[in-house]
Amino acid sequence: MTKPILPGATIGVLGSGQLGRMFAVAARRMGYRVHTYSPAEDTPTGHLSDREVKAAYDDLAAVEEFVRRVDVVTFEFENVLSDTTECAARHAPVRPGGGVLHVCQHRRREKNFLYDHGFPVTPFRNVDSFDDLERAVAELGYPAVLKTAGFGYDGKGQAVVRSAEDLRPAWESIGEVEAVLEAFVEFEREVSVVAARGLDGDFCHWGVVENEHSNHILDVSTPDAPVSDSVRALAVEVAHGILEALDVVGVLCVEFFLAPGDRLMVNELAPRPHNSGHFTFDASLTSQFEQQVRAVCGLPLGGTDLLRPASMVNLLGDLWANGEPDWRAALADPAVKLHLYGKAQAKPGRKMGHLVAFGSDRAEARRRAIAARNALVKR
């Protein structure tokens, strides 16, 4: 058996955003040291780390120097280059392995992986040219969504096509690059399963979470989604199968569309703690961040029970449009928890923090979370 990496050891995190920050909170609470590496400084993760290294991901000499001073490497940002993870893996275990990143950082590879393994996935076609796009739309029909194959998130690099006139502008808008065309799914709900797999293959999950998006960005996440037992069981089975097939060590989130008739389809994967699992920090026996620490350090996984009904709302930079939000007003509800990521500049669409609210049931928790966010903006 591989030896566990015990408290007192140092965990290296590639990436320095809010996911790394919450990971660092969990790691430090358990007595680990945290080093973070990214091209930025004064970062959300850096604020809570023992060491913050500012260097480019392709500066392999800097990567090597970073990795030599840590006991294990994980990441909070999946667009780290393969060269970087391969370089890191020569000096310390990288968990999850670079192969997981390779699949998940590229939409087309990810979709083909899912399809080839028989997981239910949104109907799609690979597109490399305008001719491919015309052929793909003839097969999938309108409306459809054209998405760049790599490095897209929160709806970036996407264009909806509703008729033949949209094809040329859509192809130009994504930069005429390698892409996929997906059928547009008239979903009833979006749900996700945040799950984790330990070094010994142990599996756990936080149930099915309901996600509401606004402008392609996650807005509200509420655990214990109102889905049928069979959908719940299938969503968890698919998540388990994906973590096994990718040999994941750590947390991975599977985002699904649920279409009428209980048709469940994977939309995308995030090979790390995910925004739809932020509620676990306050509301679950073990948070997704602590689980990531446990998994990458080879410790047993913790329980994932939901302690009480909860709901999470994101705080985007738009809330700062008329000055600093009114934190006192949001916290006037004693069942509300505030998380801020320490980002210096609020920009529209930028994730600055989130609120978690509790309630006697999920609907009440959701109402209170939204009411607290509304109270932030002075009228």
Residue 210 binds ligand AMP (CB under 6 A): no
**What's the CA gap between 284 and 307, in Å, rounded?**
5
Residue 349 binds ligand AMP (CB under 6 A): no
- Residue closer to ligand AMP by CB (options 246, 253) is 253
Min dist CB 107 to ligand AMP, Å, is: 7
Q: Which stretch binds ligand AMP (CB under 6 A): 84-92, 180-188, 195-203, 337-345?
A: 180-188
Residue 377 binds ligand AMP (CB under 6 A): no
**What's the CA gap between 56 and 233, in Å, rounded?**
42
By the 8 A CB rule, do 236 and 205 touch?
yes
Min dist CB 13 to ligand AMP, Å, is: 23
Among 47, 120, 126, 184, binds ligand AMP (CB under 6 A): 184
What does the buried/exposed string (b/e) look like for 160-177 if buried means 16 or more CB atoms within 10 Å of the residue's CB?
ebeeeebbeebbeebeee
CA-closest candidate to residue 205, choices 262, 231, 243: 243
Number of residues in the chain? 379
Span 271-300, contacts to ligand AMP by CB under 6 A: none
Question: Backbone phi, then psi, for 12, in 5-degree steps?
Answer: -95, 130
- Sign of the dihedral defined by the CA atoms of residues 343, 354, 272, 262, in that order: negative
Residue 267 binds ligand AMP (CB under 6 A): yes
Question: Any alpha helices (H) in the chain, and if so which ranges?
Answer: 18-29, 60-68, 82-89, 98-104, 107-116, 130-140, 164-173, 229-245, 280-283, 288-296, 327-330, 362-376
Residue 115 binds ligand AMP (CB under 6 A): no
Min dist CB 266 to ligand AMP, Å, is: 11
List the x/- string, 32-51, binding to ligand AMP by CB under 6 A.
Answer: --------------------
- Residue closer to ligand AMP by CB (options 65, 219) is 219
Among 213, 308, 347, 378, binds ligand AMP (CB under 6 A): 213
Residue 182 binds ligand AMP (CB under 6 A): yes
Beta-strand pair 33-38/51-54: parallel
Residue 224 binds ligand AMP (CB under 6 A): no
**Total residues in contact with ligand AMP, by rule CB under 6 A:** 12
CA-closest candidate to residue 16, choices 270, 343, 287: 343
Beta bridge partners of 296: none
Q: Which tokens hold the place of 335?
A: 């069942």
Q: Which stretch binds ligand AMP (CB under 6 A): 178-186, 323-331, 349-357, 358-366?
A: 178-186
- Residue closer to ligand AMP by CB (options 28, 263) is 263
**What's the CA gap between 368 and 306, in Å, rounded?**
18
Residue 185 binds ligand AMP (CB under 6 A): yes
Beta-strand pair 10-14/72-75: parallel
By the 8 A CB rule, do 249 and 296 touch?
yes
Residue 122 binds ligand AMP (CB under 6 A): yes
Among 166, 224, 268, 290, binds ligand AMP (CB under 6 A): 268
Residue 190 binds ligand AMP (CB under 6 A): yes
Residue 142 binds ligand AMP (CB under 6 A): no
Alpha-carbon distance values, 165 to 161, 196, 252 (Å): 8, 44, 38
Question: Backbone phi, then psi, for 375, in 5-degree steps?
Answer: -70, -15
Residue 162 binds ligand AMP (CB under 6 A): no
Residue 94 is given by DSSP the state B
Among 145, 295, 336, 356, binds ligand AMP (CB under 6 A): 145
Residue 155 binds ligand AMP (CB under 6 A): yes
Q: Which stretch binds ligand AMP (CB under 6 A): 43-51, 181-189, 194-202, 332-340?
A: 181-189
Residue 216 binds ligand AMP (CB under 6 A): yes
- Residue closer to ligand AMP by CB (options 48, 127) is 127
Residue 210 is given by DSSP the state E
- Residue closer to ligand AMP by CB (options 94, 266) is 266
Site residues (vs ligand AMP, CB under 6 A): 122, 145, 153, 155, 182, 184-185, 190, 213, 216, 267-268
